[in-house]
Structure 1
Amino acid sequence: MAPEINLDHRAGKKNRPWTITLIGLLTIAGMASMPLLAGEPDGDRMPDLVRFLGHFHPVVLHLPIGIFALILLQEITAVFTKQKRNDNLVPMAAGAVSAVIAVLAGFLMYHGGGFEGSEIAELHLWGGLAFASAAVLTYIVKTWTVALHASQFPFQILLLSTVGVMGYASHNGGSLTHGSDHLVKYAPDPIRGVLGLEPKEKPKDTMPLESQVVYADIIHPILESRCIKCHKEGNSKGKLRMDTFDLLVKGGKEGSALEAGNASDSNMIIRAELPDDDEEHMPPEGKPQIEDHELLIVKWWIDQGADPVKKVGELALNDEVRAAIAKLNMAADFNKDHSLGKADITQTKTSNGKQPQSGEKTDALTENLQKIVADLSAEFPGGLAFESQESANLTFTAVSLRNNLTDENFAKLGPVIPKMVSMDLSATSITDRSVALLAPAGNLRMIRLCETAIGDASLDTLLKLKNLESINLFGTKVSDAGVKKLVALPKLKRLYLWQTEVSEAVIAELKKQLPELQVITGI
């Protein structure tokens, strides 16, 4: 009978993982050659299938991260507790395979378009390739370690290196999605000092409107909050940078982002006005969207010549734009005073990551909104209230203010206007300037403007509020020209026109166009 040790020796040679090694090395070579063979990314020539598969990258990428983090934790535990190691190769194989799949999807996403000229995207790509290659190599070494009953040390060093590369690639991916300063953006000054960062800039007091430089003080902050994160140094999607005026004019692969004097033909405006679900719409789905009053300001600036140094007082300024700028400045001041983000009211998400439905309360929304309402109640005693205990929608009445409610103090309601469902502004001192601020009030169902100085310009704003059911214009200066446009409000049920100059002919036409509309013209 042959010695038992020789049988084990022959079996060991037979079971050595040569096939796994060969497949793994070919996989590494293939991944390393992909960027060289594919060349520069050009989404314009990529078929939809490439983009479709590439968009699975965010779905897959967390799997290898979790697996390798768990394997590292197991190894550390085994070292310190002297426990027997788990030589099951399935977790390592799953980690390596999922890393390769994530990198392939990421590679397709990179070449599907939108990342041309992005230094961070390129670093993330190469970091991902390095991680996947290291993951495969670590798996190969692990199989040999188990097959030969060899020392764990080479595997442990390689595993630690793989996780380190994974961290580097993940950081660049986070920077690509959230901005390069996403880890330290909210760091307190003591921590910033330890990290060698400059202290946070203290918010500047708002200058008088006419003294503000339009580009530097108004336009650039809008672009910074909506566009620059994806169009700056190190991350210039579409080879477009928007972080300076000169680069904005220079444009990207589609040419200049703006055409001075012609907003409607400016690429940045065309993209912003596309439907939200259009693939070319900017900002892309899931990113903070530009608000109506912000878009109005940018279009006004471009139409006025897009000058980088002129002040507001040097340009033609109508009431609608003035109100939009006032809202922008007021929201910035309010958020500065209350340490709130610009989108706390309009962009709050539920726990599942989706936008809350109209009136749906979330913990974050409730906390922020209640704080704002409490602070505004000092300015408008008895004016603001929640629609119900279960609702995040708001109502406002000026019954205790009347003539004391002016355009100036009405503008302070800007942060909560998107949540309004009912507003009673009767007998106040507001004008068309205040009503222009209601453009974001998409949930508004009832408004009373009776005995105010508003005119047809206010009706143009109300036309944007498609959920309006009741409008009271008693004793106002509205005319036939403005009122007949209200036929475009599909849900309008009650319209009060007593003591106005609206003709019977227009009223008859309204009733004809909207059979369910009740027009009240007297007692």
Structure 2
Amino acid sequence: MSTETDLDAAGSKHRKPWGITLIGLITIGGLIAMPYLAGEPDGEKMPDIVRFLGHFHPVLLHLPIGIFSLILFQELLAMVSRKKPQRTIFPMFFGAASAVLAVLAGFLLYHGGGFEGSELAHDHLWGGLIFACAAVFTFIVKSWSMAPSSSQAFYRVLLFSSVGIMGYASHDGASITHGSDYLTQYAPNPIREALGLEPKIEKEEKAAKPLEEQIVYADIIQPILEMRCVECHKEGKAKGKFRLDTYDLLLAGGKEGEGIEPGNAIDSNIIFRIDLPEDDDEHMPPEGKKDIEDHEVAILKWWINQGADPAKTVGDLEITDEIRDAIGNLKMTEKFVEDHAHGEGSSDAEAANADSSQPSDDLKKSVDALAVKFPGAITFESQESAGLTFTGVSMRKTLNDDIFAEVGPVIAQLVSLDLSATGVTDRTVALLEPAENLRMIRLSETQITDAAMDTLAKLQNLESINLYGTKVTDAGVKKLSELPNLKRLYLWQTDVSDAAMEELKKANPDLEIVTGI
């Protein structure tokens, strides 16, 4: 007979599935305990293996969906058919097992970073856990109903309930990936009305809005962000606790501080991430996403340097022919194309934020030579500026004091320096004394101590200092109290006390101290 190979084939000697029940209940207990044992997600503390395994979740989740859909179809067919169905627990076993695997991968993905603070991701996690528990319990009940005289009613109730929970959890998952209105975005009004949604208003023909009348943020900047960034930085999926779907959230930033610094594009976190080499782990958009185009970056920098005002129109700002052409080259989403016109017009206004100090030929030669040793790390602040930016994030495993010393000939030209998570120590910071124009420095997760603060205290143009995860103490940060231009100081996970921070605030009331709380 075809059922001879089935471990639990119906027969007169049907065994009680105590082993299956015990293992199943232990599995359910483990699934429920996982979130409480793991605590809040923190991607920065997770090893790469967690992210690697977590990324299999989108692949594995299709297995239980397919298997449970097939089982549901078979049960519905059996309910309306006169033919007695063959009893087997194999489909239900594979359905429950695949549900557990998918949830485990999803749990690792959740804790691997990018979903901190997301209520939708939290709800999706628990929806998946409840579904996996229901699937395992349904499998247990199925194993007890294999006897010929057993009723299938309770099993079928659990099966239908499990599929319902699966549908709810799947909807949350789709909302995280595609947005909460993904399924209903194009629903006809009768369906929208039945679902309790606002009816869709038919679009009216609009007159083209001249370029000078367009609001820069709403009509130009926000559509760029929606197309390039918002998919991963929105409600329910705010990677790095950073959302870009509204102006206030863009300004507020995320775990690393403010997203933009009005009037200063080069030190704005969003521009910093965009300008990183494409093979850098911190580069945005991440690998696999279409990179932001040069003319779009130019527009973002122009808007930030002009003050990043959310209400000003193009006509209110100084605009060069280069930026005008960049706006004209935008290829936006359907909404942007329908709602906005690429005005042509002319303007004699020129940007006034260029550094008047032109780079010398000798400096250019030095930078070209260093670019060979430090590919993608050292660049000019702009084509018209002699100021240099240096980022060592792509060399975290190799950059140390001796290697950074090779930058010595151009240290005086540095305006922005990122040595986060590299092997540098106080020796490297001591080399920065000639960098009188340095405005931003990131030393997070390095081995620097209070001794490095002696040098930083001499750099009077410093505006932003990141000391996150260092060994700096109260004695060290007190040395920074006399910096006249310091606007932002990151002291998250250091040994600096609240009392010392209060003293700093008294000395500099305009100083923002970021503690990660």
Where in structure 2 are there 5+ consecutive unaligned residues? 1-9, 346-517
Q: Contact 1:117/1:237 (CA < 8 Å) preserved in 2?
A: no
Q: Contact 1:206/1:333 (CA < 8 Å) preserved in 2?
A: no
Q: Give the aligned partner of residue 51 of structure 2.
A: 51
What are the residue-to-residue correspondences of 1:84-233 with 2, within 5 Å?
A: 84-147=84-147, 149-195=149-195, 196-200=197-201, 202=203, 204-233=206-235
Q: Deviations over 1:117-170 (max 9, x none)?
A: 112111110111011111100000000000474100000000000000111111
Q: Contact 1:263/1:299 (CA < 8 Å) preserved in 2?
A: yes
SS of the aligned residue for 1:259 comes to coil
SS of the aligned residue for 1:34 comes to helix
Q: Give the aligned partner of residue 247 of structure 1.
A: 249
The offset of 1:334, in angstroms, is: 9.1
The offset of 1:11, in angstroms, is: 4.1
Residues 260 and 120 (structure 1), Cα distance of their counterparts in 2 relative to 1, 3 Å cut: same
What are the residue-to-residue correspondences of 1:396-407 with 2, within 5 Å?
A: none
Q: Contact 1:16/1:147 (CA < 8 Å) preserved in 2?
A: no
The offset of 1:75, in angstroms, is: 0.2
The offset of 1:282, in angstroms, is: 2.3
CA distance in 2 between partners of 1:330 and 1:108 (Å): 35
Residues 88 and 270 (structure 1), Cα distance of their counterparts in 2 relative to 1, 3 Å cut: same
Residues 186 and 278 (structure 1), Cα distance of their counterparts in 2 relative to 1, 3 Å cut: farther
The offset of 1:332, in angstroms, is: 5.9
> Residue 284 of structure 2 aligns to which amino acid in structure 1?
M
The offset of 1:335, in angstroms, is: 4.7
SS of the aligned residue for 2:145 comes to helix
Higher share in helix: 1
Where in structure 1 are there 5+ consecutive unaligned residues? 1-7, 338-406, 412-523
Using the TM superposition, name which of 316-325 and 208-217 deviates more.
208-217
Q: Deviations over 1:47-80 (max 9, x none)?
A: 1111111111112111111001000000000111
The alignment's TM-score, normalised by the length of structure 1, stands at: 0.60
Q: Say which one has the larger Rg.
A: 1
Using the TM superposition, name which of 211-220 and 321-330 deviates more.
321-330
SS of the aligned residue for 1:229 comes to coil
Residues 133 and 318 (structure 1), Cα distance of their counterparts in 2 relative to 1, 3 Å cut: same
SS of the aligned residue for 1:328 comes to coil
SS of the aligned residue for 2:329 comes to helix
CA distance in 2 between partners of 1:319 and 1:332 (Å): 26
Q: Give the aligned partner of residue 315 of structure 2.
A: 313
Residues 183 and 209 (structure 1), Cα distance of their counterparts in 2 relative to 1, 3 Å cut: same
Q: Give the aligned partner of residue 70 of structure 1.
A: 70
> Residue 198 of structure 2 aligns to which amino acid in structure 1?
L
Q: Give the aligned partner of residue 21 of structure 1.
A: 21
Q: Contact 2:265/2:271 (CA < 8 Å) preserved in 1?
A: yes
CA distance in 1 between partners of 2:292 and 2:213 (Å): 25
CA distance in 2 between partners of 1:279 and 1:70 (Å): 40
The offset of 1:408, in angstroms, is: 8.0
Q: Contact 2:223/2:336 (CA < 8 Å) preserved in 1?
A: no
SS of the aligned residue for 1:102 comes to helix
CA distance in 2 between partners of 1:22 and 1:332 (Å): 55
CA distance in 2 between partners of 1:200 and 1:44 (Å): 44
The offset of 1:81, in angstroms, is: 1.3
CA distance in 1 between partners of 2:331 and 2:50 (Å): 43
Residues 310 and 57 (structure 1), Cα distance of their counterparts in 2 relative to 1, 3 Å cut: same
Q: Give the aligned partner of residue 327 of structure 2.
A: 325
Q: Deviations over 1:234-271 (max 9, x none)?
A: 33222122222122111111111111122122111222
CA distance in 2 between partners of 1:330 and 1:10 (Å): 69
Q: Contact 1:189/1:200 (CA < 8 Å) preserved in 2?
A: no
Aligned residues: 338
CA distance in 1 between partners of 2:306 and 2:76 (Å): 64
Q: Give the aligned partner of residue 40 of structure 1.
A: 40
Q: Contact 2:227/2:333 (CA < 8 Å) preserved in 1?
A: no
CA distance in 1 between partners of 2:181 and 2:305 (Å): 34
Q: Contact 2:253/2:259 (CA < 8 Å) preserved in 1?
A: yes
What are the residue-to-residue correspondences of 1:368-517 with 2, within 5 Å?
A: none
Q: Contact 1:17/1:147 (CA < 8 Å) preserved in 2?
A: no
Q: Give the aligned partner of residue 303 of structure 1.
A: 305
Residues 194 and 217 (structure 1), Cα distance of their counterparts in 2 relative to 1, 3 Å cut: same
Residues 318 and 104 (structure 1), Cα distance of their counterparts in 2 relative to 1, 3 Å cut: same
> Residue 213 of structure 2 aligns to which amino acid in structure 1?
S
CA distance in 1 between partners of 2:79 and 2:333 (Å): 55
> Residue 279 of structure 1 aligns to which amino acid in structure 2?
D
The offset of 1:331, in angstroms, is: 7.9
SS of the aligned residue for 2:117 comes to coil
CA distance in 2 between partners of 1:184 and 1:326 (Å): 32
Q: Contact 2:92/2:139 (CA < 8 Å) preserved in 1?
A: yes
The offset of 1:336, in angstroms, is: 3.2
Q: Deviations over 1:187-206 (max 9, x none)?
A: 24454344332314637544
CA distance in 1 between partners of 2:226 and 2:333 (Å): 15
> Residue 238 of structure 1 aligns to which amino acid in structure 2?
G
SS of the aligned residue for 2:330 comes to helix
SS of the aligned residue for 1:265 comes to coil
Q: Percent identity?
A: 62
Residues 36 and 331 (structure 1), Cα distance of their counterparts in 2 relative to 1, 3 Å cut: closer
Using the TM superposition, name which of 231-240 and 38-47 deviates more.
231-240
> Residue 178 of structure 1 aligns to which amino acid in structure 2?
H
Residues 201 and 233 (structure 1), Cα distance of their counterparts in 2 relative to 1, 3 Å cut: farther
The offset of 1:308, in angstroms, is: 1.5
CA distance in 1 between partners of 2:132 and 2:180 (Å): 23
Q: Deviations over 1:483-522 (max 9, x none)?
A: xxxxxxxxxxxxxxxxxxxxxxxxxxxxxxxxxxxxxxxx
CA distance in 1 between partners of 2:287 and 2:36 (Å): 31
CA distance in 2 between partners of 1:330 and 1:223 (Å): 10
Residues 316 and 133 (structure 1), Cα distance of their counterparts in 2 relative to 1, 3 Å cut: same
SS of the aligned residue for 1:285 comes to coil
The alignment's TM-score, normalised by the length of structure 2, stands at: 0.60
